Structure 1
Amino acid sequence: MALSTRKWLGLALLAGALELLAAAPAAAQGTVRRHLVYFRDKAGTPYSVTQPQAFLSARAIARRTKQGIAVLPRDLPVNPAYVTQVKNLTGSPQVVYTSRWFNAAVVACDSVTLARITALPIVRSAATLNRSQQKFSPAPAPVQVPPVAARGTLATRAQYGPAYQQDRQIGATAMHDAGFRGDGMHIAVFDAGFPGVNQIPAMQPLFQENRLVATRNFVDGGKNVYLRNSHGTNCVSAIAANQAGFYIGTAPKATFHLCITEDVNSEHPIEEANWLAAAEYADSAGVDVISSSLGYTTFDAPSRSYTYAAMNGRTAISSRAATVAARVGMVVVSAAGNEGNNFWRYISAPADADSIISVAAVDSMGNKAGFSSFGPSADGRIKPTLAAMGQAAAVLSPSGAAFRGNGTSYACPVLAGMVAGFWQANPTLTAQQVIAALRSTASQANNPDNSLGYGIPNFVTAYNALHPTAPLAATASSPTAEALGLYPNPAGEGALTLVLPQDLRGQPLTLRVLDARGAVVAQQRLSASTSSEVPVRMGRLAKGAYTCEVSAGTTRRTVKFVQQ
């Protein structure tokens, strides 16, 4: 994964092909483990590539059809007769889930039963995926960093809150001004848990507008994802949060699928198998973009770890899964890893996968973050692919509070949201054409390296390259740029800051605060100021919704805020 502990992206290390794990010492008889059981073929399957509606949603079929991607035997489900043979063996093996792409099943059983399974003529091989059975316990909270100084157009900043710079840096604010906020695009987020997402005010539009369409928990089973580790909450907020005046993510109108694939209590290949299962779910559900802030390099003993040589896109199970996900028409966005200043140094799986976007981290000025992992992949491909703000990036906690943290974990969703909006704006592109368009117009497109890849992409630059006769303006042009702003919003007990449009500067102002009934509850005079930013104190206000009105002569502007 990708936080400040060994579990998180870049701070975990893996080594060796999944098949090699079968050579590790067998589990003690009677101890139930999870194993990946590979079948020999799909002979006799009742499914057909000519009838994909039996195993793919209409949206999934449409995504493939639009991109000219055929349904292949690889896409057919595992033969159900093979699954039945496994289930009927003595020892009561449990088939947890199956994999279409790998023609395999994740099976929970003890070592004696596993021997019976591998003896079946239909089985090619098996690999043990986990070696411990630990109870869930909360992982440490991410390290928070101090806020960065405000920069840029403050009226727009007042709307976006602390997310402003990370959104603006890749052109997402201009993308929103142009009307592309991810509407109609489906994004799947793979992570370790999403506590608080169903309660955070800035995330409520997801529920009010029915844009959280599915949840899957591949660790515990079932559909409850509002538990476990808050890393997923942090990451999805960077895309989906939508509370003007407090925080706006990069694709605040997209539709979401939340999947728990990571167990932070241990590091074993079972989590990569969970990633595979989630990717196949995303494919079948018709997802457009996968955002994954997870990474694998080293496992807990006795599972065998990866070496850098295995970061070739063809060895790690998550990398192989990510490659297939790209082949079936999804854009996979994966955090590159946080290993840049430690002994591993390089990208982790699945960031090494072919045909995906591996995301490096930069600061607000576009400088590479020291912790961001380097490329290339072990087979010499340029990695990472692109970069976004991951140093002092703003995300939300399960309580709904905004904080700043470090990690390619955060750069990944910031960029994934822009990718969704860019694809929305250019719906005739294929997934690979989306990646190519962003890559070819990024800040280092003419001189890519293994620090930031092709560099920092920008929505406007990429869009204008595709639409030279109808380009967008390079800067935001929405009415919010000349609106009255106020932050923080919601407000606490401290001072507030007014962000004045040009027509209210340089003259004395009258400020009034009206409650929800329209009654004036506070009033004051403000001295003339040429500054765009003026601190004010509203006095003691009861909790609730208010309107702040600022006027000068016949010019009057209002902004709504919430007192907490």
Structure 2
Amino acid sequence: MRKHLIYLRDKANTPYSLTAPQRFLTARALARRTRQNIALLPRDLPVDPAYVAQVQAVAGTKVWYTSRWFNAVVVECDSAALALVQALPCVRSARTLNRPAAASSPSVAAPALTPARPAGTRADYGKAYAQTRQIGADVMHDAGFRGEGMQIAVFDGGFPGVNTGLVFASLYQQNRLASVYNFVGRDQNIYQYDDHGTLVLSTMAGNQPGVFVGTAPQATYHLFVTEDVASEHPLEEVNWLIAAERADSLGIDIINSSLGYNTFDAPSVDYTYAELDGRTALSTRAATVAARVGMLVVSSAGNEGNNRWRYLTAPADADSILTVGAVDSLGLRARFSSIGPTADNRLKPNVSAMGQQAAFVYPSGAIGRGNGTSFSSPITAGLAAGFWQAHPTLTAQQVIDYLQRSASQATTPDNLLGYGIPNFGRAQQAVAGIPLPTAPTVGVGRLVQLYPNPVPPGAAACTLQLPAELRTQPLEVRLYDVRGSLVATLVLPASNAASVQLPTASLQPGVYSCRLGRRGAAPYTLRLIRL
């Protein structure tokens, strides 16, 4: 039997009121709105229970969920009952969503617990070190921000092993697994199904020093199964919506969604690129409202970059969310990472992080590596959690802004990597009001180039091609690592030459920001990669 989304006509006679929001929102949810100066609106009111009763009274109809934001009801019924529901005066329209979901199976017991200790060194992070260091999350942890007090909801297809793995043990020991729910089966059985959610969660919540530490190892988590991996139907987007409404009502700060929708089992409901406009897809509309009520929605861009689709998948096209593309450990774009812009020509992705050969933990406890914006998204969500913890008075939109401003190509964003790779140290500088170097517009005759780039192993120098304005005077070159730390300052002698040699022998392998210019003048900024 199919499920349907039934849109109701209004909330005119609802018994709920915006003057008594504690009836449908927790104190934490209201506090989140207050901090960000977000007003309550009619969309926040629950649906009229009298309307729900009318729908439920139709023979053969079972109500699964209600949606405050869409003023809708999810029902299960056959075609005959649907026709009767659509004839009700309280019903505006209906949309068929899917086939029935598979039955749930029993849950598994929680794991034995072991004490956790703070992260710090390369040895503590294990194979997660590269993806953590690339965005400066190790510096964030050393500064004391590991996500304490922040609440993160993870929407995915299942979490097997989370209740048995040592890497997740501190979640139970420290009571940081706040809630779980399976929106596919309408129960709390989440420790089964697809292991994608486990892998995703480990990149943030992993907390086994000496083995694997994620980017937000001390945050509080809510695990929601919204994805039915056995099929692909718009119902899963509605599960996303209902889960986001629950996240809102619980006062959750951040949603990580490593999910994407563009094609379905029934091709007639596939999205076209023109519909990736921030206003059409069900999950996109839900993500937009989630952002409007003050949650920071972090979404994977999608893995369509090297196939015929190429572009983002929903809900990554949503406005006001943080869409994340994928790079490798050297900061180079992963070919599979979906590209922008959105159909209405907004820049996407917003930022990028390590998603090629990213490290994660399997349900068995084994450490693996894999590819996908599914991993770059939660790695970034963990960074956002620690950064927001450090600056709790910021709004969700300000967090996005500072992370974008901190990123590796903030002055020259594009639809491949967005603003580039964010960095905690540089975001801290931006909050503190320390000016971040910007690159002037590059025009004809003013081109600065660095080659070979990447610099091969063993190379003692690379070549810096200079425009006329940077010749004849001494040139100051500053090199910063991915943390934003200054690692070298060089002064190149004045020369009439169009190119000069930049020493690289002393540089460790990694990604650097190279800023050059005359003293007192706005610097040029380039990325230098040392292999």
TM-score of Structure 1 vs Structure 2, range by shorter chain? 0.7 to 0.9
C-alpha deviation, 1:135, in angstroms: 6.5
Contact 2:238–2:282, Cα closer than 8 Å, also in 1: yes
User: Matched residues in 2 for 1:63 and 1:474: separation?
Assistant: 35
Partner of 1:554 in structure 2? none
Is contact 1:312–1:378 with CA below 8 Å preserved after alignment?
Answer: yes
Aligned equivalents of 1:392 and 1:404: distance in 2?
A: 5
Q: Retained in 2: the 8 A contact 1:392–1:404?
A: yes
Compared with structure 1, are the counterparts of its residues 410 and 466 closer, same or farther at alpha carbon in structure 2 (3 Å cutoff)?
same
Q: C-alpha offsets along residues 466-521 of structure 1, whole Å, 9 cap, x if unaligned?
A: 125799x98989xxxxxxxxxxxxxxxxxxxxxxxxxxxxxxxxxxxxxxxxxxxx
Correspondence for 1:269 among 229, 234, 238: 234
Residue 330 of structure 2: which of 343, 356, 365 is its match?
A: 365
Confirm or deny: 8 A CA contact 1:174 1:474 kept in the other structure.
no
SS at structure 1 position matched to 2:379: helix
What's the TM-score, normalizing by structure 1? 0.74
Change (3 A) 1:201 1:78: same
Write out per-residue CA displacement over residues 90-121 of structure 1, whole angstroms, 9 at most, x where no aligned residue.
22x11101000000010001110011100000
Query: Alignment partner for residue 48 of structure 2, among 79, 85, 96?
Result: 79
Q: CA deviation at 1:60?
A: 0.3
Equivalent of 2:423, from 455, 458, 463?
458
Indicate the SS of the match to 1:129.
Answer: strand
Tell me the SS of whatever aligns to 1:258.
strand
Q: Deviation per CA, 1:417-475, whole angstroms, max 9, x where unpaired? A: 0000000001110000100111122111111100000110000100111125799x989
Corresponding residue of 1:55 = 24
Residue of 73, 78, 81 corresponding to 1:110: 78
Residue type of the alignment partner of 1:72: L
1:124 matched to 2:92: yes
Query: Does 2:14 align with 1:45?
Result: yes
Shift in CA distance, 273/409, structure 1 to aligned 2, threshold 3 Å: same
User: AA paired with 1:58?
Assistant: A
Asked if 1 retains the 8 angstrom alpha-carbon contact of 2:103 and 2:185, the reply is: no
CA contact (8 A) 2:155 2:224 kept: yes
Distance 1:134 1:214 in 2: 22
What's 2:206 paired with? 241
**2:32 is paired with a residue of what secondary structure?**
helix
Query: By how many angstroms is 1:43 displaced?
Result: 1.2
Segments ≥4 residues shifted beyond 4 Å: 132-137, 468-471, 473-477
Q: Normalised by the size of structure 2, how large is the TM-score? A: 0.78
348-357 vs 436-445, greater mean Cα deviation: 436-445
Structure 1: state its 5+ residue gaps. 1-31, 138-153, 478-564
The amino acid of 2:309's aligned partner reads W
SS of equivalent residue, structure 1 residue 462: helix
Q: Which amino acid aligns with 1:163?
A: A
Match of 1:430 in 2: 395
Shift of 1:131: 3.7
Q: More relative contact order in 1 or in 2 (CA 8 Å, sep 6+)?
A: 1
Give the aligned CA root-mean-square deviation in angstroms.
1.9
Q: Which moved more, 1:442-451 or 1:461-470?
A: 461-470
- Show the counterpart of 1:140: none
Q: State how far apart, in whole Å, the 2-side matches of 1:156 and 1:186 are.
A: 25
Distance in 1, Cα, partners of 2:292 & 2:310: 28
Shift of 1:134: 5.6
Could you tell me which residue of structure 2 aligns to residue 252 of structure 1? 217
Asked if structure 2 preserves the Cα contact closer than 8 Å seen for 1:131 and 1:302, the reply is no
Q: How does 1:312-461 map to 2 (within 5 A)?
A: 312-461=277-426
Identity across the alignment (%): 64
Amino acid across the alignment from 1:62: A
| Pair 1:89 & 2:58 matched | yes
Please state how far the C-alpha of 1:222 moved relative to its aligned partner. 1.1
> Do the aligned residues in 2 keep the contact of 1:460 with 1:474 (CA within 8 Å)?
no
Q: Which runs of 5+ in 2 are unaligned?
A: 106-118, 437-479, 485-531
Instruction: Give the whole-Å Cα distance in 1 for the aligned partners of 2:406 and 2:129.
Output: 22
User: What is the distance in 2 between the residues matched to 1:104 and 1:131?
Assistant: 19
Measure, in 1, the Cα distance between the counterparts of 2:190 and 2:364. Answer: 16
Find the aligned partners of 1:466 and 1:86 in 2 and give their Cα distance: 51
CA contact (8 A) 2:135 2:482 kept: no
Given the alignment, which residue of 269, 280, 283 partners 2:248?
283
Counterpart CA distance in 2 for 1:382 and 1:474 is 26
